[in-house]
Amino acid sequence: MRAESLVVDNWIEVAQRDDVERDRQIAALFDQHYDGLCDLAYLIMGDRYLAEEIVMEALLKTFSGWGRIRDKRRSDVYLKRAVVNLCRSKIRRKMIEVRQNAVYRRREERKAPDWDPDVHETSREVWEAVKLLPPRQRAAIVLHYMHALPESEIAEVLDCSVGTVRSQLSRARGKLKDSLEPGRIREATG
């Protein structure tokens, strides 16, 4: 019997077990992925507390819709997609609020991670430029460079084709290049 079929059989057993055992298995899955999902949401949103809120919402939606997940082996991709989609929704809602509220012209600046400006000035400038990217491009950049995901997995998480991922990454790189001083990209990535 192949290792894949063992995993499938295991998930089928989980689905058939009583609620207490199933809940324990799902809790173990969440424990395994919680920190990584919080990091993903934080890198997209730039706010640790909002990131944790988004991850908890994604976990709750995953738990409540557990029976609708077709391939339990790929539940990690489902969780990442849920986090990215919730981040994108939050960003869209914020943009609408900003447009409709003339008094609130500028989003409150969050304290940047504890970087030493003298040592990490290039990193700070790159991060500031990344935060200005559109949500989908920002998500693609974060998934590619911060989470080291290949384009095929990014496509799964963003629910798009590999070509779209390549296009989003290319556009994001172009915007980053235009927004940073000449030569800064090489320093930050090299």
Q: What is the C-alpha to C-alpha distance for residues 187 and 170, in angstroms, rounded to an integer?
A: 19
- Residue 63 has a pLDDT of 76
Q: What is the C-alpha to C-alpha distance for residues 90 and 2, in angstroms, rounded to an integer?
A: 42
The burial class, CB within 10 Å (0-12 / 13-18 / 19+), for 47 is middle
**Spans in the chain with pLDDT lower than 50:** 1-8, 104, 106-113, 115, 184-186, 188-190
Helix runs in 74-179, H state only: 75-100, 117-131, 135-141, 151-158, 162-179
Closest CA to 153 of 5, 12, 40, 8: 40
Query: Which residues, in sequence order, are CB contacts of 58 under 8 Å at separation 6+?
Result: 37, 79, 82, 83, 86
Centre a 10 Å sphere on the Cβ of residue 156 and count the other Cβ atoms it contains.
17
- Residue 53 has a pLDDT of 94
Tokens representing 151?
Answer: 């384009």
Collapsing DSSP to helix, strand or coil, 59 comes out as helix
Specify the DSSP class assigned to residue 182: T
Tokens representing 164?
Answer: 């779209």
- Residue 7 has a pLDDT of 46
Q: What pTM, to 2 d.p., does this model score?
A: 0.53
The burial class, CB within 10 Å (0-12 / 13-18 / 19+), for 139 is buried
Please provide residue 97's backbone torsions phi and psi, each rounded to the nearest 5 degrees. Answer: -60, -40
Residue ranges of domains in the chain, CATH in brackets: 1-111 (1.10.1740), 113-190 (1.10.10.10)
Instruction: Dump pLDDT digits (tens) for 81-121.
Output: 899 999 999 988 887 777 766 554 544 444 444 545 555 66
